[in-house]
Chains A and B, each alone.
Chain A
């Protein structure tokens, strides 16, 4: 809870387009509560530290004052229970039991906050939302507020109220922290988490990471070896547990008694039933600090650990503050792993220190912009959301671009003539027509520079000779020792229409050690099935026979659910995809998982009708 009543407020948005750009009506607590109680469910989405929990707490306090009943729960507090139950229906029962344990009567109105939906894994966060949705339907006297990161969710908007937050006004920041100058520091301090730190400890650091560093030093005397030790512990917890909850026994075993006592006494470490750090940004800082301090290679494994497999990107922004490696190189590494992560990094950077070059900004925006014309509507929507959140002039222009040529023209205009060689190299590939030499593309696809590699992967998909020359890419997919190269090759092969490509992608789906290569392969397979009638039965039948392994892997299952609903597709797409949906439904382990696949079938039919 902020120690001072900062002047940020809830903003009620009509839809996710508005929410992501902070458009909507400012709502005072009373009117927001009224909206929540009428709908029964609401999301408050904002960046880390922007005050979601504080305002949710304020709503609960108001509900208790008005109705006598309110409850504040943390997602982490029942993550352990949820992770052992199956499906949203079971999660709803667990949630109802938990609420009952807090003596909340179903005979009276009550507001229940579930804080930190973004602090558990993506699978659990979806089940938390499903559970709240169902419990609200079962108990019309109860209404829910869930706090979450900025992220489009697949929800029936007629049933949900959406909120985001305004930032703290620059005037108040200057008033509360007189030492802050216009610009970087003020921008950071418009985030209530950092402003609160600054007002409590007279901290006025230039970056978010240095604020954490000072805070830990002042409040717990954590610095030097202690900081390194705590960072190593936090990163190990992220890697092993894939959640922000902490194993108390490991904390006792791995941290010195003195350090553990200090962080416990200062409240930085909360040793309750579900031990955790005081705020998820502190945990993210510590994990990122370890990666930066050790100069760890930014492999897929490291990035997966820092972000819970691309669920929450806050740690990446802190890494950008902390890491002595060039900011553009960090973006390269992140882009190679997850383009949305690179987009998030850029958006955070542009809201603070602007360490990323304008050339790299153009690269990230250009590459994201190119994907807004993707075959898969889910991808198109997600990249457009990423561009909205980046919120720069170029991102806004690219959002309105009609095609890749228009994007190239915008970049041409935006970037000065004095360009880096690497940028020219990337831009040539980005602009390339369908006549690029095959060997050049193969060489570029395996470039150690990820942005060139992915630009080449996209260019190869446009290549006029792709059909005849796809053997090279199949070999990379199956034989390359580099996971990045295999994923880029899988991306290329989705644009081919050969049975040999199908075979290679299925082999990668079955055998590749990286889930991200499997992910790229399943996308490629569905793309082939959608574009080539003659291969659709083969591909979808093959995937149906793999329903067990696909359905058991949450990343692959989610990608199937994202990729199958298509608009630009043959009219019989619902019928040809039916064996796959049916097989996934038949192997489902719970009724709510059956519901998930039934909803996918409905979604495929609805999209195909568009």
Chain B
């Protein structure tokens, strides 16, 4: 029982967002307007049950302390300590890696597409010597196969109802996001210079990675650090909207992607949030079986008609400056 009780209670799903624009998009998507105590976490409903004398929430939404992996690790640690969730979703934007195929075509996710990380590579902190750069490794908890499968199930559903949750118009006409899944490369600073030696290294070295971002390693590292007993093993997943392109070589593009990111970020955030919402409700529709010491969890909301409907009308939202 105690394994699912945090300092503020229990939430089945914790949604972590990176920057304010992403948090606001997620908050809006889930109508998460009520703060749980002084936790900095928001939910759409009051306590729906009690566990160990503390409140139970179906989900909460939190924002990381800052961009990059170190704040992500500390925020994740706090989220788990506060709510002991079953599931953690990291929602935000990423750069899509564009590579040149053998037949000379560009290959990679399009702007505004969705990317599900199945495996996290950490590209920072290698050892360099006269023979070159040697990758070093860092133990983390990898994304959950179970959650990847849940996410892919949503993508395979012919009724693309999650698309209706996208509340921002795409910068390009009539864009319909595709869903990609695969390896992600995690770095510590925004990747945008195809001339940069470090960028060339990680794109070459992790040759199957389709996206690059700055927080998933922190979340995976934080979860690995917290794993200390057999009774508590939260699952996690990264969901990213593609806000810009990171090119494998300057032959593909030598344009700084800063402006592109500024243009696409609001839409990419909205895409990720809409998909995350669908996944949150899918996870909450499952039952957690009762076992000795845990009363379990029943599907929520009891009546699916209670799932908040977000206006399909798209609008332009204010966002923070480009990162």
Which residues of A pack against B, CB within 8 Å? 38, 40, 89, 92-93, 96, 106-108, 134, 136-138, 140-141, 156, 158-159, 544, 574, 579, 581-583, 585-587, 591, 594-595, 597-599, 601-603, 605-606
Contact for A583 among B6, B73, B127, CB less than 8 A? B127
CB distance from A178 to the nearest CB of B (A): 48
**Given A140-B84, A602-B71, does the pair A574, B5 have CB atoms closer than 8 Å?**
no
Given contacts A140-B6, A586-B125, 9 further A-B contacts (CB under 8 A): A134-B225, A582-B128, A586-B127, A586-B136, A591-B138, A598-B69, A598-B70, A601-B125, A606-B66
Once the chains bind, are A40 and B7 in contact (CB under 8 Å)?
Answer: yes
**Given A156-B74, A591-B139, does the pair A38, B69 have CB atoms closer than 8 Å?**
no
Chain B residues contacting A156 (CB-CB under 8 Å) are 74
**Given A137-B77, A594-B138, does the pair A574, B189 have CB atoms closer than 8 Å?**
yes
* A134, A140, A583, A591, most chain B CB atoms within 10 A: A140
Once the chains bind, are A595 and B127 in contact (CB under 8 Å)?
Answer: no
Chain B residues contacting A602 (CB-CB under 8 Å) are 68-71, 188
Chain B residues contacting A93 (CB-CB under 8 Å) are 228
State A136–B78 Cα separation when bound (angstroms): 10
Chain B residues contacting A137 (CB-CB under 8 Å) are 77-78, 80-81, 225-226
Once the chains bind, are B7 and A582 in contact (CB under 8 Å)?
Answer: no
Chain A residues contacting B124 (CB-CB under 8 Å) are 582, 598, 601
State A591–B124 Cα separation when bound (angstroms): 15
24 contacts between A and B (CB under 8 A): A40-B81, A93-B228, A106-B2, A134-B77, A134-B226, A136-B81, A137-B78, A137-B80, A140-B5, A140-B81, A140-B82, A579-B128, A581-B125, A582-B126, A582-B128, A583-B127, A583-B128, A586-B127, A595-B73, A597-B125, A598-B69, A602-B70, A603-B70, A605-B188
State A137–B226 Cα separation when bound (angstroms): 7
Could you give, for residues 210-229 of chain B, a 1 whenever the CB lies within 8 Å of some chain A CB and a 0 otherwise? Answer: 00000000000100011010
State A136–B228 Cα separation when bound (angstroms): 12
Chain A residues contacting B1 (CB-CB under 8 Å) are 107
Please give me the residue from chain A that is nearest to B227 by CB atom. A138
State A574–B68 Cα separation when bound (angstroms): 14
Contact for B68 among A92, A107, A140, A605, CB less than 8 A? A605
Within 8 A of A (CB), among B109-130: 124-128
Within 8 A of A (CB), among B272-311: none
Chain A residues contacting B66 (CB-CB under 8 Å) are 606
Please give me the residue from chain A that is nearest to B38 by CB atom. A38
Chain B residues contacting A158 (CB-CB under 8 Å) are 78
Which residues of B pack against A, CB within 8 Å? 1-2, 5-7, 66, 68-71, 73-74, 77-78, 80-82, 84, 124-128, 134, 136, 138-139, 188-189, 221, 225-226, 228
Please give me the residue from chain B that is nearest to A39 by CB atom. B7
State A137–B223 Cα separation when bound (angstroms): 11
Please give me the residue from chain A that is nearest to B198 by CB atom. A578
CB distance from A549 to the nearest CB of B (A): 16
State A138–B232 Cα separation when bound (angstroms): 10
State A602–B67 Cα separation when bound (angstroms): 10
Chain A residues contacting B73 (CB-CB under 8 Å) are 595
Please give me the residue from chain A that is nearest to B79 by CB atom. A137
Chain A residues contacting B69 (CB-CB under 8 Å) are 598, 602
State A108–B84 Cα separation when bound (angstroms): 15
Once the chains bind, are B2 and A141 in contact (CB under 8 Å)?
Answer: yes
The 10 closest A-B pairs by CB, nearest first: A602-B70, A586-B127, A107-B2, A585-B125, A137-B81, A140-B6, A137-B77, A140-B7, A582-B125, A586-B136
State A92–B229 Cα separation when bound (angstroms): 13
Chain A residues contacting B139 (CB-CB under 8 Å) are 591
Please give me the residue from chain B that is nearest to A602 by CB atom. B70
CB distance from A134 to the nearest CB of B (A): 6
Chain A residues contacting B188 (CB-CB under 8 Å) are 601-602, 605
CB distance from A155 to the nearest CB of B (A): 11
Once the chains bind, are B228 and A586 in contact (CB under 8 Å)?
Answer: no
Once the chains bind, are A89 and B225 in contact (CB under 8 Å)?
Answer: yes
Chain A residues contacting B136 (CB-CB under 8 Å) are 585-586
State A136–B7 Cα separation when bound (angstroms): 10
Please give me the residue from chain B that is nearest to A601 by CB atom. B188
Chain B residues contacting A582 (CB-CB under 8 Å) are 124-128
State A40–B68 Cα separation when bound (angstroms): 25
Chain A residues contacting B228 (CB-CB under 8 Å) are 92-93, 96, 138
Please give me the residue from chain A that is nearest to B73 by CB atom. A595
State A97–B249 Cα separation when bound (angstroms): 52
Chain A residues contacting B6 (CB-CB under 8 Å) are 140
CB distance from A124 to the nearest CB of B (A): 20
State A73–B183 Cα separation when bound (angstroms): 45
CB distance from A455 to the nearest CB of B (A): 40
Please give me the residue from chain A that is nearest to B54 by CB atom. A140
CB distance from B127 to the nearest CB of A (A): 4
Chain B residues contacting A601 (CB-CB under 8 Å) are 70, 124-125, 188
State A574–B196 Cα separation when bound (angstroms): 14
CB distance from B11 to the nearest CB of A (A): 13
State A582–B126 Cα separation when bound (angstroms): 6
State A159–B75 Cα separation when bound (angstroms): 11
Chain A residues contacting B82 (CB-CB under 8 Å) are 140
State A601–B187 Cα separation when bound (angstroms): 12
State A587–B136 Cα separation when bound (angstroms): 10
State A583–B228 Cα separation when bound (angstroms): 29
State A603–B74 Cα separation when bound (angstroms): 13
State A136–B80 Cα separation when bound (angstroms): 11
Please give me the residue from chain A that is nearest to B77 by CB atom. A137
CB distance from B138 to the nearest CB of A (A): 6
CB distance from B292 to the nearest CB of A (A): 12
State A264–B54 Cα separation when bound (angstroms): 49
Chain B residues contacting A574 (CB-CB under 8 Å) are 189
State A585–B139 Cα separation when bound (angstroms): 13
Chain B residues contacting A108 (CB-CB under 8 Å) are 2
Chain B residues contacting A597 (CB-CB under 8 Å) are 125
* A136, A583, A602, most chain B CB atoms within 10 A: A602
Chain B residues contacting A89 (CB-CB under 8 Å) are 225
State A594–B81 Cα separation when bound (angstroms): 23
* B81, B82, B226, most chain A CB atoms within 10 A: B81
State A162–B189 Cα separation when bound (angstroms): 33
* B68, B80, B225, most chain A CB atoms within 10 A: B225
State A339–B43 Cα separation when bound (angstroms): 51
Chain B residues contacting A92 (CB-CB under 8 Å) are 228
